[in-house]
């Protein structure tokens, strides 16, 4: 088989046309595809396996923090949405509306056609999020302070009708989890909001190898109906920001809208304090945009559908049985090793196809380790091992027993290398900016040679002071398509949740001073801290 490396396995490269590169990675790695239903994607097995691993790990983290799963209706009566004014304002423009409950055969212009029949008295929307429908249940479940806290999570599909979609990052239907909790006091609800933000940060950094900044959103970027919205923000390889997860303190807004009331210890009826928090299949897009390269997907080992694939090399038919037997034994040995809480996931690819094509197929899928075994390797009791994160380097021979003994360490070192690389990339493209001119120059698109040129790679993150004025923020958005991605949380603000193993490695690695007060470069007014400005998904 040929190890000859084509220029790059993905055309175009990131530098040539980032958006098209993304589409091609998704296709080459067999992660997802568009469907015949506008805006809805098909998540293919390799992409879905990434999501299953995300689900498994997050579900464990939610349960470890006291949450239980439940399931609520897909449909929400329009009258429920209307209960919270900001909420309906935020979602009415983009929701799928069910108006009928059957199809009827009609003759139209001489042709038989199926048309909607059985009109509903009240239209239903397919849930874009479930605060209002879950609130109706919470109102029944919460009677006394003894019923609190109520800590619920739901794994579900949601629909937000999007005109401009991109696989995983923005689709009309997507899969997500939505946590919904109710508490007796404001403080408890705020603590919950911060705790789940920390869970998301921990997951993003330790499992996805994606550094994030934990921060608060400005009013303009808040969840419709929330009092405060917190988020984790990551930098993609086009230097745009991806909001990867959000955690909302809802105050009593939704409790009042849904009438979630309880008798407190003094027997007074009071409204509960609620939170909600969610991450979605967008995380798969974040993983691609953080780690994939010009040869395709790069899966962080802790979430990879397969940690390693064994490729039997059998040029002569008479070698085949011996090589396959050796591979099966190797697989069994490797499956006996634990990595990141699971048995090592390893498969043998013995399809009868061209060896180079087969190997490059796995490189494009981003499997962390490719293990090649031929007759001569068996004689030497060794295996050729290639690391996905070191694709340019030659595969190295390693003794079988050593491979089994060290594979967990090797996978961890890949995981660590991916995180370090992502941190370095982000920091390289993060700039501390103290003047308006520099800020505008940083974010100005370079002049296009040709109007058909793809959108260029963006500038990155600007760390600048800000007086907090929403009008100024809107002006900058108009001028540059740049927004405040978040107001980073300082160590004190994170302290409550820190016990939960929120390492906040992402921000701490940033090594910029964000929290010394200064001057807003746009207004000359005082500013408590720097915020993160960027273009975003």
Residues that bind its own copies (CB under 8 A): 33, 35-37, 40-45, 48-49, 51-52, 68-78, 80-82, 88, 92-105, 114-116, 118, 123-126, 133, 136-137, 140, 146, 152, 156-157, 159, 161, 173, 175, 351, 353
Q: Which of residues 299 and 398 has its CB atom nearest to its own copies in the complex?
A: 299
Alpha helices for 366-481 (secondary structure H)? 375-379, 400-428, 436-443, 470-480
**Angle value at C-alpha 186, between 184 and 192, nearest 5 degrees:** 85
Q: How far is the CB of 10 from its own copies (least distance, A)?
A: 20
DSSP summary character for residue 390: G
- Distance between CA 366 and CA 375 in Å, rounded? 26
Q: How far is the CB of 401 from its own copies (least distance, A)?
A: 29
Q: How far is the CB of 25 from its own copies (least distance, A)?
A: 18
Q: Phi/psi of residue 367, each to 5°?
A: -65, 135
- Distance between CA 307 and CA 344 in Å, rounded? 6
Strand-pairing partners, residue 4, are none
Q: How far is the CB of 69 from its own copies (least distance, A)?
A: 5
- Distance between CA 216 and CA 266 in Å, rounded? 34
- Distance between CA 150 and CA 181 in Å, rounded? 5
Q: How far is the CB of 51 from its own copies (least distance, A)?
A: 8
The 3-state secondary structure of 258-278 reads: HCCEEECCCCCEEECEEEEEE
Q: Regarding beta strands 32-34 and 75-77, do their DSSP bridges make them parallel or antiparallel, or are they unpaired?
A: unpaired
Q: Which of residues 251 and 285 has its CB atom nearest to its own copies in the complex?
A: 285
Q: Which of residues 284 and 311 has its CB atom nearest to its own copies in the complex?
A: 284
Q: Which of residues 320 and 429 has its CB atom nearest to its own copies in the complex?
A: 320
- Distance between CA 47 and CA 45 in Å, rounded? 5
Q: Which of residues 112 and 394 has its CB atom nearest to its own copies in the complex?
A: 112
CA distances from 309 to 64, 326, 351 (A): 32, 14, 12
Q: How far is the CB of 188 from its own copies (least distance, A)?
A: 18
What is the full DSSP assignment across 438-461?
Answer: HHHHHHSPPPPSSTTSPPPP---E
Q: How far is the CB of 438 from its own copies (least distance, A)?
A: 41
Q: Are 383 and 311 in contact (CB under 8 A)?
A: no
**HSE-CB for 325 with a 13 A CA cutoff:** 7
Q: Which of residues 88 and 208 has its CB atom nearest to its own copies in the complex?
A: 88
Q: Phi/psi of residue 511, each to 5°?
A: 60, 20
Q: How far is the CB of 8 from its own copies (least distance, A)?
A: 25
CA distances from 463 to 118, 458, 515, 526 (A): 56, 15, 11, 15
Q: How far is the CB of 99 from its own copies (least distance, A)?
A: 5
Count of residues in the chain: 537
Q: How far is the CB of 63 from its own copies (least distance, A)?
A: 10
Q: Which of residues 97 and 441 has its CB atom nearest to its own copies in the complex?
A: 97
- Distance between CA 518 and CA 387 in Å, rounded? 46
Structure tokens at 358: 């087969």
Q: Which of residues 175 and 407 has its CB atom nearest to its own copies in the complex?
A: 175
What is the full DSSP assignment across 86-152?
Answer: HHHHHHGGG--EEEEEEEEEEEETTEEEEEEEEEEEEEEEE-S--HHHHHHHHHHH--BGGG--EEE
Q: How far is the CB of 282 from its own copies (least distance, A)?
A: 14
Beta strands in 127-240 (DSSP E): 150-159, 173-183, 213-216, 228-235
Q: Which of residues 152 and 260 has its CB atom nearest to its own copies in the complex?
A: 152
- Distance between CA 87 and CA 74 in Å, rounded? 17
Q: How far is the CB of 35 from its own copies (least distance, A)?
A: 5
- Distance between CA 56 and CA 49 in Å, rounded? 10
Q: Which of residues 139 and 371 has its CB atom nearest to its own copies in the complex?
A: 139
Q: Which of residues 307 and 400 has its CB atom nearest to its own copies in the complex?
A: 307
């Amino acid at each position: 088989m040929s190890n000859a490396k084509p220029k790059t396995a993905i055309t175009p490269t990131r530098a040539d046309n980032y958006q098209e590169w993304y589409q091609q990675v998704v296709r080459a790695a067999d992660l997802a595809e568009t469907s015949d239903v506008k805006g809805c994607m098909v998540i293919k097995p390799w992409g879905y396996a990434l999501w299953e691993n995300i689900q498994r790990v997050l579900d464990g983290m939610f349960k470890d923090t006291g949450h239980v799963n439940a399931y609520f209706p897909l449909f929400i009566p329009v009258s429920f949405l209307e209960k919270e004014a900001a909420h309906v304002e935020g979602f009415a423009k983009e929701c799928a509306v069910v108006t009928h409950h059957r199809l009827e055969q009609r003759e139209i212009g001489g042709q038989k056609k199926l048309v909607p029949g059985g009109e509903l008295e009240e239209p239903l929307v397919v849930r874009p999020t479930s605060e209002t429908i879950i609130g109706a249940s919470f109102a029944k479940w919460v009677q006394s302070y003894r019923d609190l806290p109520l800590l619920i999570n739901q794994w579900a599909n949601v629909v937000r009708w999007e005109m401009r979609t991109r696989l995983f990052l923005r689709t009309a239907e997507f899969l997500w989890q939505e946590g919904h909790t109710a508490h007796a006091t404001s403080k408890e609800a705020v603590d919950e909001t911060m705790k789940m933000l920390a869970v998301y940060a921990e997951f993003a950094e330790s499992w996805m190898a994606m550094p994030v900044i934990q921060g608060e959103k400005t009013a303009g970027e808040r969840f419709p109906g929330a009092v405060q919205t917190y988020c984790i923000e990551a930098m993609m390889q086009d230097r745009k920001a991806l909001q990867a997860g959000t955690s909302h303190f809802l105050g009593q807004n939704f409790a009042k809208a849904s009438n979630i009331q309880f008798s407190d210890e003094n027997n007074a009826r009071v409204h509960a304090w609620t939170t909600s928090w969610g991450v979605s299949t967008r995380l798969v897009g974040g993983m691609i945009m953080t780690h994939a390269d010009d040869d395709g997907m790069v899966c962080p080992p802790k979430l990879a559908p397969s940690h390693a694939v064994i490729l039997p090399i059998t040029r002569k038919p008479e070698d085949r049985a011996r090589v396959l037997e050796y591979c099966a034994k190797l697989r069994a040995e490797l499956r006996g090793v634990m990595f990141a809480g699971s048995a090592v996931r390893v498969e043998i690819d013995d399809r009868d196809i061209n060896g180079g094509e087969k190997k490059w197929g796995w490189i494009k899928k981003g499997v962390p380790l490719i293990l090649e075994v031929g007759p001569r390797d068996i004689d030497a009791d060794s295996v050729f091992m290639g690391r996905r994160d070191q694709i340019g380097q030659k595969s190295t021979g390693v003794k079988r027993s050593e491979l089994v003994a060290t594979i967990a360490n090797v996978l961890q070192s890949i995981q660590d290398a991916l995180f370090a690389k992502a941190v370095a990339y982000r920091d390289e493209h993060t700039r501390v900016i103290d003047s308006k001119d520099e800020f505008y120059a940083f974010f100005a698109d370079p002049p296009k040679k040709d109007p058909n040129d793809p959108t260029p790679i963006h500038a990155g993150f600007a760390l600048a002071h800000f007086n907090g004025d929403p009008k100024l923020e809107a002006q900058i958005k108009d001028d540059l398509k740049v927004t405040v991605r978040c107001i980073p949380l300082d160590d004190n603000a994170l302290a409550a949740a820190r016990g939960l193993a929120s390492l906040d490695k992402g921000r701490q690695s940033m090594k910029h001073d964000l929290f010394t007060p200064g001057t807003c470069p746009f207004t000359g007014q005082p500013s408590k801290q720097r915020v993160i400005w960027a273009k975003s998904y």
